[in-house]
Amino acid sequence: MVKVKSIEETVENYVIGVIPGVFKTKRYWMKKGYDEKHAIQNAVKYGIRQIEAGVSAHNLETTINIFREMAVIATTFADLLEQNKEK
C-alpha cells in the first residue's frame, strides 16, 4: 500500500528544501561584495519567491509556523553550542 503524505508534511519538506538555497543565495551576494544586510534581503526575496511558487496561499499559515519553529530550534541549537564551547 502506498503511503500518501499529508499536506502539512509535504509543505514541511518543501520549506526545508528551500532553506539551503536561501543560505547559498546569501553567500553568493556576500561574495559579490554586498554587505550582509543587502545579501540577506536578496536571499529572503529569493526564498519568498520559492515559497510562493511551491506553496498554495491557503497553506501559508503552515509555512509561517514551520519557519517560526525552525527559528526556535536554530536559536536553541546555537545557544547550546555556545554553552558547550565555554566548557
Residue 59's pLDDT band (cuts 50, 70, 90) = confident
- What are the tens digits of pLDDT across the range 5-49? 888 888 889 999 999 999 999 999 999 999 999 999 999 999 999
What is the distance between the terminal CA atoms of the chain, rounded to a whole angstrom? 50
> Domain range spanning residue 80?
7-85
66-78 mean pLDDT: 94
Q: Is residue 2 part of a domain?
A: no
Domain count, the chain: 1
Q: Among 25-29, 44-48, 52-56, 77-81, whose mean pLDDT is lowest? A: 52-56
Higher pLDDT, 86 or 13: 13
Main-chain dihedrals φ then ψ at residue 56, nearest 5 degrees: -70, 155
Q: Does position 87 have pLDDT exceeding 80, yes or no?
A: no
Write the CA distances from 12 to 5, 71, 83, integer angstroms: 11, 14, 29
Residue 12 located in a structural domain: yes
pLDDT at 57: 81
Cell of residue 14, nine digits: 518543501
Q: What is the pTM of this model?
A: 0.79
Residue 1 belongs to a domain:
no
Say whether pLDDT at 3 is over 90.
Answer: no
